[in-house]
Structure 1
C-alpha cells in the first residue's frame, strides 16, 4: 500500500511543511523514481516489480501531483525548490544518495539532482529541458490541451472510453505509443491524476524558462528516448548528449513519451543498467 510522509522543506525562498505520497518496495541499493507533469507514481507500476527484485524502489508523487500535497504557500514549483523537497524527502526516509530515474519532468529533476551531487546515478527517460522554443511551445500547448480534455470530459465518459483500445488511444495516445497495452483502470487513473493535479499550472509556468545547459560530470548518466515520443521529439536526445558528453544515450524502439508501459522489460533493463 502507498504511504505518506510529512516533513519540513527549507529553501532560499522560504520553508514550510510538506506531505508526499509514495510507494516503496524491494531491497538493495535505493532507487528513487520520479514521474512527469500531470502524472503520478503509478506511471512506474509496469516496471516496479522488476526493479524491486534488485533495488529498494521508492516511487514518489511530486508535490501537487497524485496523493502529494501542494508546496507550502509562497514556494515556487521551480527546480531548486522541488530538488530541495526531494532531498529532504530522502533524508526523512533515511536514504542517502539514491540512484534516481525520472521521466519527462522527472527526468529533468533527476538530472538536476545529479548536477547537485545528491544521487549516485541518473537515468532520464525523455527528460524535459532540451527543447527549442518552438518545441517547448508545442509541448506545453499539447499538455494544456490534455489537461483541458481531462477536466472537460465527464468521468462516466472517460470510463467508457477506457474499455476499448480505440477509446484508450483517444485518452492517452499523446504520451503512450501503445495505448492498447494500458489497462482500462490505469487509463482512468492516469486521466484522473491529470485532471486533479493541483500543481499542474504552477509547474508548467515554472518550466517556461527552463533549459538544462550544464554538464553532470560527477555521476553516471543514462539518457533514453522513445523513438515514437510525440511530446518531446527524440532529436532533443541528441542535444542532451551534447550538453552531457559523458552520458550514455539509449534508443527505446516502439516507445512513446511515457515508455514504462510501452515496453516494461526494456525500460527496466535500461534503468537497472544505468544504476549499476
Structure 2
C-alpha cells in the first residue's frame, strides 16, 4: 500500500508530489488547505515511504497510474479533486482522463516540452543533481543546516531555496536519493503529454517564473494542448512553488478545486 496521510475537513483533495520528491513537499500549504479541504497526501511508488515500483518489466507510467487508481478506490474516494506538481501533475491529468477526479490543479506539469532538446536538458539536470547529491551525501546534514548549504543544494528546485526548514530540507535530500531507481525508470521514457481531458473536469495551471527544471516557456505548450485550462504564472517561484509562495499556491489550489 502507498504511504499516505489524511488531514483536514471538506471536499477531498488528492495531492501528488513531483518525481524524486515526497508527500512532505506539500507541507508549506497544508495548514491553509486543510481548513477547507480534506487532504490526501500520498507518496508515489518508489518515493518517500511507499514501496518500490514493481514489476520492473511494466511501463512505469501505466504502473503508477494503475496504483493511483487503485489507491483512490481503496480510500473510498468518489472523484476527488486533485492537485499535482511536476510529474505528479502529469498523473493528475491521466486520472482526469480516466474520469477518476472532478478537477485538476497542475503546478509546473511534466510532459509539455517543445522538443527532444528540452527533454534532454531536464534529463541532464536530474542526472547531474543525482550524481552530485550522491557524492555530497556524507555532508548532507551539515549542508542542510545552513542557509548557504540549502541554497547550494536546492537552487535548481526552488526560487527561494533557503526557505525550507533544515529538517524538511534534509528529509527532501534523503528522499531525492531514495527515489533514484524510480527516477531512472520513469524519466528515460520522455513521452510528451498528448491526452485529452473532458470539458466536465476544470483544469488550472500554475507555473513558476523561475522554474529551472521545466522552464516557464513550456507553459505555452501546456496552454495549447489544454485549451480549456486557466493558466496563472507564479512570480518568483521555482519548480516546487509550494515552498516559495505558500499563500499564493494555496489560493490557486482552492480556486481550482472550488
Common fold, TM-score beyond 0.5?
Answer: yes
Total equivalences in the alignment: 255
Q: Does 1:163 align with 2:149?
A: no
Of 119, 126, 133, the match for 2:108: 126
Partner of 2:128: 145
Q: Does 1:22 align with 2:7?
A: no
Instruction: Give the Cα–Cα distance (whole angstroms) in 1 for the partners of residues 104 and 130 of structure 2.
Output: 29
* CA-CA distance at 1:78 after TM superposition: 3.1
Q: Does 1:190 align with 2:172?
A: yes
Partner of 2:137: 154
Instruction: Give the Cα–Cα distance (whole angstroms) in 1 for the partners of residues 31 and 57 of structure 2.
Output: 35
TM-score, with length taken from structure 2:
0.95
CA contact (8 A) 1:214 1:244 kept: no
Instruction: Give the Cα–Cα distance (whole angstroms) in 1 for the partners of residues 194 and 187 of structure 2.
Output: 19
TM-score, with length taken from structure 1:
0.89
Instruction: Give the Cα–Cα distance (whole angstroms) in 2 for the partners of residues 196 and 79 of structure 1.
Output: 19
* CA-CA distance at 1:201 after TM superposition: 1.2
CA contact (8 A) 2:150 2:161 kept: yes
Aligned-pair RMSD on alpha carbons?
A: 1.2
Q: Secondary structure at the match of 1:200?
A: helix
Report the structure, 1 or 2, having the larger strand content: 1
Partner of 2:193: 212
CA contact (8 A) 1:150 1:192 kept: no
Instruction: Give the Cα–Cα distance (whole angstroms) in 2 for the partners of residues 181 and 260 of structure 1.
Output: 11
Structure 1 unaligned blocks of 5 or more: 1-18
Of 223, 227, 251, the match for 2:233: 251
Instruction: Say if 1:99 and 1:75 are closer, same or farther in 2 by CA, change over 3 A.
Output: farther
Partner of 1:95: 77
- Displaced runs of 4 or more, over 4 A: none
Identify which of structures 1 and 2 has the higher relative contact order when contacts are C-alpha pairs closer than 8 Å and 6+ apart.
2
CA contact (8 A) 1:46 1:261 kept: yes
Partner of 1:13: none
Partner of 1:69: 51
CA contact (8 A) 2:53 2:60 kept: no
Partner of 1:235: 217
* Deviates most, 185-194 or 73-82: 73-82
> What aligned pairs does 1:103-114 form with structure 2 within 5 A after superposition?
103-114=85-96
CA contact (8 A) 1:171 1:187 kept: no
* CA-CA distance at 1:189 after TM superposition: 0.7
Structure 2 unaligned blocks of 5 or more: none
